[in-house]
Structure 1
Amino acid sequence: MENLFEMTAYVLAGVVAGLVNTLAGGGSIFTLSLLFFLGMPAHIANGTNRLGILVQNISGSYTFQKSGLLDIQASMHYVVPSLIGALVGASVATDIEADLLEMVVGGLMIFMLVGVLFEPKQKKNMVGVGRNKNHWLQSLFFLGVGFYGGFVQAGIGILIIVAFSFTSSIGMIRSNAIKMLIIAIYSLPVFCIFIYKGQVAWLAAILLAVGQLIGTWVAGKYVAKRPGVNKLVKWVLVVMILATIFKTFGVFAILPI
């Protein structure tokens, strides 16, 4: 049973993740890092992290759709290959040894650190519908994006930005809307796979999800227009990623602390 400190940490981490996802993307990096840092086994942390992701992206997709910025039917050619890839990725993640998964995630965090420090630039075209450059290339990109999302999820927003950059000229706002739809749709069956494999710590998952909803609301109502917030978010992510890398590869064990 989690103690009061851990329960509070889960809610606060969810709040921060909600803020981060709303303002910049990458909130799942923060929550996954915290779960690792609190000593949760990698495979359990990977599954536990999924409920908040599911809830937040369903909410975000609904908001975009109601605003007229998300055409669900037209987005299916991104969603379908992503869903297929995610199912394969989740199946691999749930069957891999926990120690190996932790090392893989630690290695991926190094790439996420580079991605956060040198974030890909969004297109100046904000709401343009865009053109598809190559349907086969597009399908392959989003199949890979889905595999990564099903496997570990953290930093998926960076990969989706890259995928859109290479395969279409869709503007930033519509890209973000489609990104949320992709993640919302694949997250439900992926989460079910983790549930079936018994790799979800339910109390932690629920507290993270509640925190993420609070963080999303706070970001939208109070924080988004404040100067310097995105820069602060970026450096909070950098600190958490570094902490995860150090813990994963045993750096803390050799420090005199």
Structure 2
Amino acid sequence: MFDIALLFLAGLVGGMLNAVAGGGTFITFPALVLVGVPPVMANATATVASFPGYLAATYGFRRDLAVMQGVRMVHLTFWTMAGGMVGAGLLLVSSNQAFSALVPFLLLIATVVFIWAEPIRALAARYARVVTPFGLGTLLPVAIYGGYFNGGLGIILLALFAMWGMRDIHQMNGLKSWLSVALSLIACLIFAVGGSIAWGPGALMATGTVLGGLAGPSIARRIPMPALRALIACIGFGTTAIFFWRLIQGA
């Protein structure tokens, strides 16, 4: 019963965070590992469980996305899925031992990126004229990272959009959610074929992410962001410390 409640609540909070500011993986991935899912399978399952939450968040931002029809959405979606395919393939050939050694560093990078999201977006905006708007050269590496490890993907995408010259945060959140849907979809198919999904825990978590994803866009317009960011930062550093401790204990 504890495992069921933990997975559902982790999905609920993770789905809300992904819709609002990113950082849901700080909740969902450790919860799956805690209930006994092996690290590589836990990462794949967290990506699968996030998919319906991303879809719900995209629906919540549908009005903001509707005004972006002039943007090359098909182009962006295709290259996001291509990068996600590469990243997911890399995860499947990673052993649990190798991935476990990388996890603390990946979580630390994601946490630092999350904390410095605003300065990163501001810095990216300064170089908006230096890069090609909606360019493949900047999107593809981010998509590969997201296919391999979903942590911090939302924050990195928002920084990328700022570098492209986008300014409307709700449009940026809508595009972030849609590209996350595309990336997660192709990654889910690859993980399913590779037998790397814990379907029972994933289904429980996915139920929570749908509810969190639906609530997220509304919360994004009301919640005090500094308080939320401080909470997610604490969770991120706490999770990173736990996985570093696990790595040291296993050495």
TM-score where L is the length of structure 2: 0.84
- Contact 1:34–1:240 at 8 Å: present in 2 too? no
How far is 1:98 from its partner?
Answer: 0.9
Q: What pairs up with 1:165-244 in 2 under 5 angstroms? A: 165-219=162-216, 223-224=219-220, 228=224, 230-244=225-239
How far is 1:218 from its partner?
Answer: 4.1
Q: Which amino acid aligns with 1:165?
A: A
What is the RMSD of the two structures over their aligned residues, measured on CA atoms? 2.7
- Contact 1:65–1:71 at 8 Å: present in 2 too? no
Structure 1 unmatched runs, 5+: 124-130
How far is 1:169 from its partner?
Answer: 3.3
**Whole-Å Cα distance in 2 between the matches of residues 6 and 252 of structure 1?**
23
How far is 1:30 from its partner?
Answer: 1.9
Report the secondary structure of 1:120's partner residue: helix
**Whole-Å Cα distance in 1 between the matches of residues 232 and 5 of structure 2?**
19
Report the secondary structure of 2:88's partner residue: helix
Equivalent residue number for residue 245 of structure 1: 240
How far is 1:9 from its partner?
Answer: 0.1
Q: Which of 102, 108, 111 is the equivalent residue of 2:100?
A: 102
- Contact 1:57–1:183 at 8 Å: present in 2 too? yes
Q: Which of 20, 25, 28 is the equivalent residue of 2:17?
A: 20
- Contact 2:146–2:153 at 8 Å: present in 1 too? yes
**Whole-Å Cα distance in 2 between the matches of residues 149 and 41 of structure 1?**
19
Q: How many residues align?
A: 242
How far is 1:160 from its partner?
Answer: 0.7
Spell out, residue by residue over 1:124-162, the C-alpha distance to the aligned partner (whole angstroms, 9 max, x if none). Answer: xxxxxxx88644882111001110110011110111122
Q: What pairs up with 1:143-162 in 2 under 5 angstroms? A: 143-162=140-159
**Whole-Å Cα distance in 1 between the matches of residues 210 and 76 of structure 2?**
26
Q: Which amino acid aligns with 2:236?
A: I
Q: Which of 94, 100, 112 is the equivalent residue of 1:114?
A: 112
How far is 1:209 from its partner?
Answer: 1.0
TM-score where L is the length of structure 1: 0.82
Pair 1:225–1:177, CA change in 2 (3 A): closer
- Contact 1:109–1:241 at 8 Å: present in 2 too? yes
How far is 1:252 from its partner?
Answer: 9.4
Pair 1:225–1:247, CA change in 2 (3 A): same
Of all paired residues, the percent bearing the same amino acid is: 22
